[in-house]
Structures are given as C-alpha cells and as structure tokens.
Amino acid sequence: MNTKSCLYPEERLDDLQRNGYKIIQNPNKFCFGIDAVLLSGFADIKKGSRVLDLGTGTGILPILLAAKTEAKSFEGLEIQEESADMARRSIAYNGLQELIHITTGNIAEASSLFGCSSFDAVVTNPPYMNDKHGLKNPDMPKAIARHEVLCSLEDVIRESSRVLQPKKSLFMVHRPFRLAEIFQALTKYHLEPKRMRLVHPYLNKEPNMVLIEAVKDGNPMLKIEPPLIVYKSPGVYTDEILELYRF
C-alpha cells in the first residue's frame, strides 16, 4: 500500500521496530503508550491461539503480538469507528489482513458479537479511570480511551470470562490503585489471578501500572513477578525496557 494513500490529514506512520511493521496514528487524537508495549511483552500467547483484544484502539496490540507470536488469528474490538478505521488501514499497510480482523462494537457486548468460549486468550488495555477518578478530557476520543465512558471494568472482565475457553488466559494492564476492585471482579467471574507484575517508573518510585494474567476456572495460586523498572534515569530506559522495544 502506498504510504500517502493510507494517511489522512494530521496522521503519521510510526515505525514499530518489529518485523518492519508500522502503525498509523493521529497525535491530535490518541497515540499508544508504553503500557501497550509492556502488555505485549507480558502476554504469553501460545502457538495456534485465537486472540481477542478488547478495546484495540488503533490496533497496536494485535500488530505487536503478530510480530512476536505464532497465534492463529487476532480479533480487535473497538467502539470508536475513527480508531477502528486507522487500525484497519495499519493492518492493510502491513499486509496482515489474513491474520488480524477489526470489529466495531462495544466491549460490553463482546460475547454476543463473538460467542461464548470462542477465544484462547484475551488481551486488554482498558480505560483506567471511572467517574470518581479525575476530570474527563473534553476531547471525546481521549475521554473514551482513558475513562469508563462507554464500558466499565466489570464489563471488560465479565466479557473476557464469557469469550474465553476454560483454562485460558486474560492478560491485562491497569493501575495499581484499582487492584482490589480488579481482583474482586476477576474472582466474581471465575477468572483466577495467576501472575502479577508491578511496573515502577523509577526504582525508588511507587508503581503506576500493573500487569495481570488471570485464568478462567484456574486453581488458586498467584505468582508475584519481580518489579519492572521503566527508567534508570530521566529519559533513559532500563535494559529490560530496551529489550522490549528492540524485539
């Protein structure tokens, strides 16, 4: 696909440094952050898996995971048509149409759209904030991405449980201050927390992200992995973060 023909005004094509893949983004709307990269490194996607990304945005997670896994297929669900359109154009640009498909729809209706027990893995980088957490961005696309405007944490976890096959995994990145709420919802919907890793901006700073794997109908036993440190000094990534970006 010709670069100019795939871009709309104000959009740019960013190099993902993986398999030569690129992604279309609009810096005036919403660009992916390090949380998507961290989740792509944390998610253990098995060969031949059918994977669903709940709230795929511009398709960053399926594209990153396509570069590093041997999954059979990826489905991205996104409620904002503008973002879904960018995701489809990025997928076409990278020649991934046979591997990744994007559906426009609401996370709260995922099991109705795709059917129950239809996926081997779910990944999600959902909105982190609810109505009690700070001011909403006046720009609606950014507000939908960051606040639970059109879906809730419970919607994400309930639908993940419904679409997953038994003993299969949900991989999620979220904020530590909502951990109690996350764990309560996971256990309510028969998703057993199995693996957790806290992400710290610096070694001496408290964590600002958490990576979680939960298994549908899994046995109780939670493994706490070593903390992940993002920066060793201002603007300088740690070696582990550099390895994630170099993949």
**Pairwise pLDDT comparison (80 vs 132), residue with the higher score:** 80
94 Cβ contact partners less than 8 Å away, ≥ 6 residues apart? 20, 21, 22, 63
For residue 200, the enclosing domain spans 3-246
pLDDT band at 213 (very low <50, low <70, confident <90, very high): very high
Number of domains forming the structure of the chain: 1
The predicted structure's pLDDT at residue 5: 60
CB 62 within 8 A of CB 121: no
237: CATH: 3.40.50.150
Residues in the chain: 247
> What global pTM score does this model have?
0.91
What stretches of the chain show up as alpha helix (H) in DSSP? 3-6, 34-42, 60-68, 81-93, 110-114, 140-146, 153-163, 179-188, 239-246
Q: In this prediction, what percent of the chain has a pLDDT beyond 70?
A: 89
Summarize pLDDT for 146-190 with one digit per residue, the tens. Answer: 544 568 999 999 999 999 999 999 999 999 999 999 999 999 999
